[in-house]
Structure 1
């Protein structure tokens, strides 16, 4: 929708085309648009004086979600012109990915050359493009042209590499190079027998679908299994590295509260991971899609199951790095197991790790800040999981993931605890999400606390539970 050029910038009146549900965001978008336009015109930019500029600028805002406008810094309105140019460049296949660099803040010279992403904003346009805006530090030169050149070199190297290249880590942490043109190489000690014969796999119905793969229910040698299949057309180094790491870790672990690995096919194009089938799905789906709720005895059992699985991983020096209810699965007997080891890692010998990995709403502050971390990062995530079990809500549902991450780090933000929550559970989750990782308990301590609380409730619990295995078909809301 174009805006009449004859109207003054400060007093534009415009009827939003969005539904009433989105009218507030639409009004904010229009307000930001007007402020950006006014700012650009005040800067006397040549581009802003071109015929039809106002309409083109509005089309740019309108092809992006309304939240894009909320992230625009009006004081740097010229950034919007950069965004518009990048999207225009990206329309030509030869220019993809289109990018630009500007200096946000001078940083001190660091001992190693590297970039740390402090902020990341991703916006999908209505016509199939992605505008990604990053704020980074770690560049030791003030001249951004050099950085742009380095990025261009990296992109060209990426284009020149075979699409199916792979780097995996062996038992000693050394890089193992391979190619999936024939087979993904997974480090092995020679005693494992986990390679799946795809001819013995029978696919039934698709359970879920993601950007890089699909999940199916099926059978393998007459056993019900879950089959995670990688999409051949989506394969790249990151996906293959994640696949290799997941197989590498899952083949080494066996515990009743960890989803059991059955095998994998590393022969392209049939890359897949086969695990036991968890018939009741994820805790996340139960809480948020089926609108289920846990009564206290079952909640304690679920929390204990997760703690047992996580304690086992810790004893084997494995950090999960993405603990959340979507990765907690339930079998037909109500046993909850930890799954999805795509970003899990064996803890380094130094005892700490770096790099941002996981999901913002469950991520520990030290991971968000790119500080060294250890297994206590998983403990923080467990605290958020425990809150989710108590509340039945999405953590920080009123915030974007990035806003939540900033709040957790800068303001010590935590989800509001339901008033009905058991005092000892409140005490436990507050210990788990301490800002200082050293103040958080180990999973063995968490398990002891849950066991004591379970015994107390068994001795004094007289409530009638009419739901199957302690699961209630309708969510019971807490007071927030």
Structure 2
């Protein structure tokens, strides 16, 4: 993998301002595409969060024919973000971090039972990453990461009123308590596009 500028969490913290809407969409689109490709190869990402998304700010360029770059990323303010999903593995154990983990994963951890891993826990985690992109806050910040009851009771981070309805719907769809009701990666690529 090529050298990237750093992780999305560190990058957004250092900006001290929200990314532009087009930049947010571009990053979300790149994550959905990357996750779709991982799942297409039979790999499950068990710890999707902003600190495991690698970004590299780039200036918008033109190719030799003078056309805009053929990247799938959307320019805004003459800058876009080359984005890669990092830190994934194919181990069988349950991973993840605190509130980025889906309710069914937290329930299994609390009960000491096995989790049947599928793509839906990572879709839940994507909702938390989208929250990080939209708000620049850590989900349920200030609560102990070991307080599984917050998520198991259906508690979700608050989205401010100024979050666009399309983004609000996307995030809440990813956070659905029933894993069968969450979108799959192909649906997410279309929603975000």
What TM-score results when the alignment is normalised by the length of structure 2? 0.80
Q: CA deviation at 1:357?
A: 1.3
- Partner residue in 2 for 1:387: 131
CA–CA distance in 2 between the matches of 1:332 and 1:284?
A: 14
Q: CA deviation at 1:402?
A: 1.1
Q: Please, which runs of 5 or more residues in structure 1 have no aligned partner?
A: 1-259, 261-275, 347-352, 452-480
Q: CA RMSD in A?
A: 1.5
Please state whether the residue corresponding to 1:331 is helix, strand or coil.
strand
CA–CA distance in 1 between the matches of 2:90 and 2:19?
A: 31
Q: CA deviation at 1:445?
A: 0.5
**Is the deviation greater in 283-292 or in 324-333?**
283-292
CA deviations over 1:328-360 (Å, ceiling 9, x no partner): 11124321110112xx227xxxxxx7x541101
- Partner residue in 1 for 2:78: none
CA–CA distance in 2 between the matches of 1:332 and 1:293?
A: 14
CA–CA distance in 1 between the matches of 2:173 and 2:47?
A: 19
- Partner residue in 2 for 1:365: 103
CA–CA distance in 2 between the matches of 1:322 and 1:287?
A: 19
CA deviations over 1:413-440 (Å, ceiling 9, x no partner): 1101111001011111111011111000
CA–CA distance in 2 between the matches of 1:365 and 1:324?
A: 16
Q: Which runs of 4+ in 1 moved over 4 A?
A: none
Pairing partner for 2:20 from 295, 305, 308 = 295
Q: Please, which runs of 5 or more residues in structure 2 have no aligned partner?
A: 59-80, 109-114
CA–CA distance in 2 between the matches of 1:430 and 1:332?
A: 28
CA–CA distance in 1 between the matches of 2:191 and 2:165?
A: 12
CA–CA distance in 2 between the matches of 1:287 and 1:332?
A: 11
- Partner residue in 2 for 1:100: none
- Partner residue in 1 for 2:192: 450
CA–CA distance in 2 between the matches of 1:386 and 1:332?
A: 18
The alpha-carbon distance between structure 1 residues 402 and 289, as it changes in their structure 2 partners (threshold 3 A), is farther
Structure 1 residue 438 and structure 2 residue 180: aligned?
Answer: yes
CA–CA distance in 2 between the matches of 1:366 and 1:345?
A: 19
Structure 1 residue 345 and structure 2 residue 90: aligned?
Answer: yes
Q: CA deviation at 1:377?
A: 0.7
CA–CA distance in 2 between the matches of 1:284 and 1:414?
A: 19
What TM-score results when the alignment is normalised by the length of structure 1? 0.33
Please state whether the residue corresponding to 2:34 is helix, strand or coil.
helix
